[in-house]
Chains A and B, each alone.
Chain A
Amino acid sequence: MQSHPSPTEILAWAEQDGVDLSLLRERLQWTPTERLQRHQAALALVEALRSAKRKVICAPGRALTDRPVPG
């Protein structure tokens, strides 16, 4: 019969899979509303980065052309 893995074993496997346990332990200290509020802030950052990336893709040469011409 297969034994049920212990929490310690599951946590070791998760860590091997790249799960940041300290991040999860921190989140478990927060209330569910705080978790959603922090998620909203993280999502805003992701959206801002995506938007910035889109601008770079749309105008790839801009960073060069915007530089002042050496005089």
Chain B
Amino acid sequence: MLQAERLLTALCQANVAFVVIGGMAAVAQGSAYVTADLDICYQRQSNNYQRLSQALQPFQPRLRGAPADLPFVLDAQTLRGGLNFTLITEGGDLDLLGEVTGLGDYEAVKAHAEEVELYGYRVWVLTLRGLIISKQAAGRPKDLRLLPELQALQALRAESREEEQ
């Protein structure tokens, strides 16, 4: 089962440059959605490949859905050679995205993110607006189903801001 705290703590302790996206970002923003995986968008730079692969090493990452005997090593070279990786790890399912549909690469995603305290660490998490843009762009039924709730959260926040003024 997903152990988000373990995975996030390991990434933060290794100073990996990443943004929490997808369902877990929606949860952090207040959604009641239940997700079984953690999605992150990672910075595509040499030193970050190194940090990311080393942080995940204890979790023994493997390609999700691939035959168990298929050789796979998640190292800096693998990350450099690919873009998006869907992994199964000892900490649960983890998706590493180099780019997010509707937003772009890490820098573009970070521009739609905010720093949030999670488990004692400052973590970049996609904003509600960023989530709505990415879900609309992805356009799959499971993405579109989440839109009314994300829009409601945005409206509830706007409403409470209005009340404060």
Contacts and interface: CB of A to CB of B under 8 A. Distances in A.
Contacts of B27: 35-36, 39
Nearest to B148: A17
B110 to A, nearest CB: 17
Given A7-B159, A10-B152, A47 B28 contact: no
A33 B153 CA distance: 17
B108 interface: no
A13 B28 contact: no
Given A33-B117, A36-B27, A44-B1, A24 B32 contact: yes
Given A32-B118, A36-B4, A44-B1, A25 B156 contact: yes
A20 B156 CA distance: 12
Interface size class of A (residues with CB under 8 A): 20 to 34
B117 A31 contact: yes
Interface in A40-71: 40, 42-44, 46-47
B139 interface: no
Interface residues of B, number: 34
Contact of A21 (B116, B156, B162): B156
B32 A23 contact: yes
Contacts of A25: 156
A23 to B, nearest CB: 5
Contact of A20 (B5, B32, B118, B151): B32
A32 B125 contact: yes
Contacts of A8: 155, 159
Contacts of B160: 28
A70 B116 CA distance: 61
Interface of B: 1-5, 24, 27-32, 34-36, 116-120, 125, 148-149, 151-160, 162
Given A13-B148, A27-B32, A42-B34, 12 more contacts: A7-B158, A10-B151, A14-B149, A19-B148, A20-B32, A30-B30, A31-B117, A32-B116, A33-B118, A36-B4, A39-B27, A40-B2
Interface of A: 7-8, 10-11, 13-15, 17-21, 23-25, 27-28, 30-33, 35-36, 39-40, 42-44, 46-47
